A and B are shown apart, each in its own frame.
Chain A
């Protein structure tokens, strides 16, 4: 009998694809259903953020940072203004600090709500994402209340935030925090412990902790692999030292440490933790100014600084070099998504296509910040 010719098939997943989150191309070499090689290709959403930043004032860069990780705009703003303030040696009014953390944590909740929903979609359950979006709408309403925008807020400034909280905001936020707890339990019931979902995520796409650390994976992905590291606790900034919250780390439960289930579960629990943080911040909210803007934002010539914060995706770092002028000389963004994508070939080979989709989904990258 002549040899049956079997070849490996080279498949392009993306850039237009319902499940690669954003314009992302993964070149797969498959042998039947098994993926033998993954080669990620990025750059489809490159919008020259870093070049733009060289021609804008420090305040002018802020709206551009919104558009990096558009699902967590507040956190992107936060990182940037913190870096600039550190370069200037500026201290922010306490009220502004509290407001900033409230916004950042609310945005973390919104981002995670969307992401755990769409992990369900990657597994085929189309309903959870709509539940996630429904609850996220409340958060977007809160943001609209205070900044005027639903998704790209441009809310932070060097020295504080652009507008104060309204009394309605505080009341609505407290109502929302009471509402979200049972909703997460609902979510858990629908998806987290569903046998089929467990079958799709437990033991799938295991990212060993050493590999994660070697590839500089951060954020919930790193914590899902069992590494207890959270910048909010370990390199605290703003008012985080005053707040008490748990750092959720992946565990052996239904899932194996480092698998997709743990990466998903860490995010679900982080929604609860963020709710805790927001509650504490609201309780401790002081009166005062919401901004103490410097006359000129002009860091000293030759000053350079790298500052990192914990965003819903991981460690976001801004490296700013100043040349004494009102515009930065260089703004470099260390984006967590870019780093996570580079780790994909390390743990997503020799698995099935369906598992690949699941694993990449749980990495939770947003192309806006990957490509900048």
Chain B
């Protein structure tokens, strides 16, 4: 990226930092577009998938197959009255959706889409991702507290407990892959999985196989999706921490949620499922498309789970995390280390 910045500045005849900043902006806009378009597409996809699972069509009037439905929803949300409860903490109330959105948005910069297409080549990319994932909690707690609504507060507290707890098995599962790959750099992890399909990390050792499932389940909890959607349990909390939000503010929460879905699926695809590698060497499908396809498949899986399963009660959510996922993820980490010791070639 730095070289591109320099060359761009050179062609324009401007100082080097101008090129850098310009590229940063272009990168940020690019990521925002990816996230926003993905969110729009997933909202449509979710409604269609939900409809079909529930023995009905889903939206099919706004445009062919209801494709314009999300656009119609976006327009409606933009035109909605912006209601801020009178007794709410204004500054926190307004700030909260942005924080949640920024946390998810900022995590996208380290996802490398192909060998050469990436915004940022952080050597500690994974660490940055995990950190950004935790950042969401701050926004959620702010939203719950600032709403001046007991139900929102309850939802926010549940969300905080859940997200923070599930960081542990998720991070440990990711660590398992890092132990195997030997690097935290997302690009290098994907390069290590190039070749045939059994080079993918998920097939490399039984421990990473288990870690994939641990990561997947944990990340569903991180994203507050059913069966872990206690924080937004409609039946109990009306809408949990985003009850009092209307219009565009609410839309930000949802943009963030679907962005989070995509992020989590992308990370799973990058770490475990080979990233931009097709699995058969020599097939000329561009990397970004392969990665996107894998991520979309995982997103579909998450949607399927949402519309099939009931939700776990909050103490059951905690029990699953601390009593089942965490010991298992510690086990996979230790196992991966042992595996690496005995099969040093496998990496």
Determine whether the beta carbon of A131 is less than 8 Å from that of B315.
Answer: no
**Would you give the 0/1 interface string for B222-254, flagging 1 where the beta carbon is closer than 8 Å to chain A?**
000011011001111010000000000000000
Within the complex, the shortest CB–CB distance from A233 to chain B, in Å, comes to: 33
Determine whether the beta carbon of B313 is less than 8 Å from that of A11.
Answer: no
- Measured in the bound complex, the distance between the Cα atoms of B308 and A190 in whole Å is 8
Task: Tell me, yes or no, whether B94 is within 8 Å of chain A by CB.
Answer: no
- Measured in the bound complex, the distance between the Cα atoms of B230 and A18 in whole Å is 15
Within the complex, the shortest CB–CB distance from A203 to chain B, in Å, comes to: 12
- Selecting from A163-171, A276-284, A309-317, A352-360, the interface stretch reads A352-360
Within the complex, the shortest CB–CB distance from B224 to chain A, in Å, comes to: 12
In the complex, residue of chain A having the shortest beta-carbon distance to the beta carbon of B56:
A130
Determine whether the beta carbon of B54 is less than 8 Å from that of A127.
Answer: yes
Q: Within residues 1 to 52 of chain A, which ones have a CB less than 8 A from any CB in chain B?
A: 9, 11, 17-19, 33
**Would you give the 0/1 interface string for B198-236, flagging 1 where the beta carbon is closer than 8 Å to chain A?**
000000000000000000000000000011011001111
In the complex, residue of chain A having the shortest beta-carbon distance to the beta carbon of B234:
A18
- Measured in the bound complex, the distance between the Cα atoms of B316 and A124 in whole Å is 14
Determine whether the beta carbon of A127 is less than 8 Å from that of B227.
Answer: no
Task: Tell me, yes or no, whether A122 is within 8 Å of chain B by CB.
Answer: yes
Determine whether the beta carbon of B233 is less than 8 Å from that of A354.
Answer: yes
**Would you give the 0/1 interface string for B270-309, flagging 1 where the beta carbon is closer than 8 Å to chain A?**
0000000000000000000000000000000000000111
Determine whether the beta carbon of A196 is less than 8 Å from that of B227.
Answer: yes
Determine whether the beta carbon of B229 is less than 8 Å from that of A124.
Answer: yes
Which residues does chain B contribute within 8 Å of A191, judged by CB atoms?
310
Q: Within residues 181 to 196 of chain A, which ones have a CB less than 8 A from any CB in chain B?
A: 190-191, 194, 196
- Measured in the bound complex, the distance between the Cα atoms of B315 and A73 in whole Å is 40
Determine whether the beta carbon of B311 is less than 8 Å from that of A123.
Answer: yes
- Measured in the bound complex, the distance between the Cα atoms of B200 and A370 in whole Å is 61
Of A19, A199, A353, A355, which one neighbours B312 at CB under 8 angstroms? A199
Determine whether the beta carbon of A19 is less than 8 Å from that of B314.
Answer: no
- Measured in the bound complex, the distance between the Cα atoms of B195 and A113 in whole Å is 53
Task: Tell me, yes or no, whether A301 is within 8 Å of chain B by CB.
Answer: no
Task: Tell me, yes or no, whether B11 is within 8 Å of chain A by CB.
Answer: no
If A120-B310, A127-B307 touch, does A353 touch B54 (CB 8 Å cutoff)?
no
- Measured in the bound complex, the distance between the Cα atoms of B313 and A355 in whole Å is 8
If A130-B55, A355-B313 touch, does A125 touch B233 (CB 8 Å cutoff)?
no
Within the complex, the shortest CB–CB distance from A128 to chain B, in Å, comes to: 9
Determine whether the beta carbon of B230 is less than 8 Å from that of A196.
Answer: no
Which residues does chain B contribute within 8 Å of A251, judged by CB atoms?
none
- Measured in the bound complex, the distance between the Cα atoms of B314 and A355 in whole Å is 10
Determine whether the beta carbon of A354 is less than 8 Å from that of B313.
Answer: yes
- Measured in the bound complex, the distance between the Cα atoms of B151 and A120 in whole Å is 22
Which residues does chain A contribute within 8 Å of B314, judged by CB atoms?
33, 352, 354
If A124-B310, A194-B310, A199-B312 touch, does A19 touch B54 (CB 8 Å cutoff)?
no
Of A11, A17, A127, A355, which one neighbours B308 at CB under 8 angstroms? A127
Task: Tell me, yes or no, whether B53 is within 8 Å of chain A by CB.
Answer: yes
Within the complex, the shortest CB–CB distance from B58 to chain A, in Å, comes to: 12
Interface residue range, chain B: 20 to 34
In the complex, residue of chain A having the shortest beta-carbon distance to the beta carbon of B151:
A11
Which residues does chain A contribute within 8 Å of B235, judged by CB atoms?
18-19, 121-122, 124, 357
Interface residue range, chain A: 20 to 34
Query: Looking at chain A's contact residues, is the secondary structure mostly helix, strand, loop, or mixed?
Result: helix
Determine whether the beta carbon of B310 is less than 8 Å from that of A11.
Answer: no
Task: Tell me, yes or no, whether B150 is within 8 Å of chain A by CB.
Answer: yes
- Measured in the bound complex, the distance between the Cα atoms of B55 and A355 in whole Å is 29
Task: Tell me, yes or no, whether A200 is within 8 Å of chain B by CB.
Answer: yes
Within the complex, the shortest CB–CB distance from B53 to chain A, in Å, comes to: 6
Of B150, B227, B230, which one neighbours A354 at CB under 8 angstroms? B230
Question: A-B contact count, CB below 8 Å?
Answer: 76
Determine whether the beta carbon of A353 is less than 8 Å from that of B236.
Answer: yes
Of A19, A134, A196, which one neighbours B309 at CB under 8 angstroms? A196
- Measured in the bound complex, the distance between the Cα atoms of B226 and A120 in whole Å is 13
Which residues does chain A contribute within 8 Å of B234, judged by CB atoms?
18-19
Which residues does chain A contribute within 8 Å of B55, judged by CB atoms?
130-131, 134
Task: Tell me, yes or no, whether A237 is within 8 Å of chain B by CB.
Answer: no
Task: Tell me, yes or no, whether B154 is within 8 Å of chain A by CB.
Answer: yes
- Measured in the bound complex, the distance between the Cα atoms of B233 and A352 in whole Å is 14
In the complex, residue of chain A having the shortest beta-carbon distance to the beta carbon of B313:
A354
Task: Tell me, yes or no, whether A197 is within 8 Å of chain B by CB.
Answer: yes
Within the complex, the shortest CB–CB distance from B238 to chain A, in Å, comes to: 6
Which residues does chain B contribute within 8 Å of A352, judged by CB atoms?
313-315
Task: Tell me, yes or no, whether A90 is within 8 Å of chain B by CB.
Answer: no
Within the complex, the shortest CB–CB distance from A134 to chain B, in Å, comes to: 5
Determine whether the beta carbon of A200 is less than 8 Å from that of B312.
Answer: yes
Determine whether the beta carbon of B150 is less than 8 Å from that of A11.
Answer: yes
- Of A123, A191, A200, the most chain B CB neighbours within 10 A belong to A123
In the complex, residue of chain A having the shortest beta-carbon distance to the beta carbon of B239:
A18
Which residues does chain B contribute within 8 Å of A9, judged by CB atoms?
150
Within the complex, the shortest CB–CB distance from B292 to chain A, in Å, comes to: 28
In the complex, residue of chain B having the shortest beta-carbon distance to the beta carbon of A123:
B310
Determine whether the beta carbon of A354 is less than 8 Å from that of B236.
Answer: yes
Within the complex, the shortest CB–CB distance from B318 to chain A, in Å, comes to: 11
- Measured in the bound complex, the distance between the Cα atoms of B227 and A9 in whole Å is 27
Which residues does chain A contribute within 8 Å of B315, judged by CB atoms?
33, 352
- Measured in the bound complex, the distance between the Cα atoms of B80 and A80 in whole Å is 48
Task: Tell me, yes or no, whether A126 is within 8 Å of chain B by CB.
Answer: yes
- Measured in the bound complex, the distance between the Cα atoms of B311 and A121 in whole Å is 9
Q: Within residues 102 to 125 of chain A, which ones have a CB less than 8 A from any CB in chain B?
A: 120-125
If A18-B234, A18-B235, A353-B154 touch, does A124 touch B311 (CB 8 Å cutoff)?
yes
- Measured in the bound complex, the distance between the Cα atoms of B233 and A6 in whole Å is 25
Within the complex, the shortest CB–CB distance from B282 to chain A, in Å, comes to: 43
- Measured in the bound complex, the distance between the Cα atoms of B66 and A361 in whole Å is 34
Determine whether the beta carbon of B313 is less than 8 Å from that of A125.
Answer: no
Within the complex, the shortest CB–CB distance from A194 to chain B, in Å, comes to: 7
In the complex, residue of chain A having the shortest beta-carbon distance to the beta carbon of B228:
A124
Q: Which residues of A contact B (CB under 8 A)?
A: 9, 11, 17-19, 33, 120-127, 130-131, 134, 190-191, 194, 196-197, 199-200, 352-355, 357
Could you list some 5 contacts between A and B, CB below 8 A? A124-B226, A124-B311, A199-B312, A200-B316, A352-B313
Starting from the known contacts A194-B310, A354-B313, 13 additional A-B residue pairs (CB-CB under 8 Å) come to A11-B150, A18-B234, A33-B154, A124-B227, A124-B229, A124-B310, A126-B50, A130-B54, A134-B55, A190-B308, A196-B312, A200-B311, A200-B312
Q: Which residues of B contact A (CB under 8 A)?
A: 50, 53-56, 150-151, 154, 226-227, 229-230, 233-236, 238, 307-316
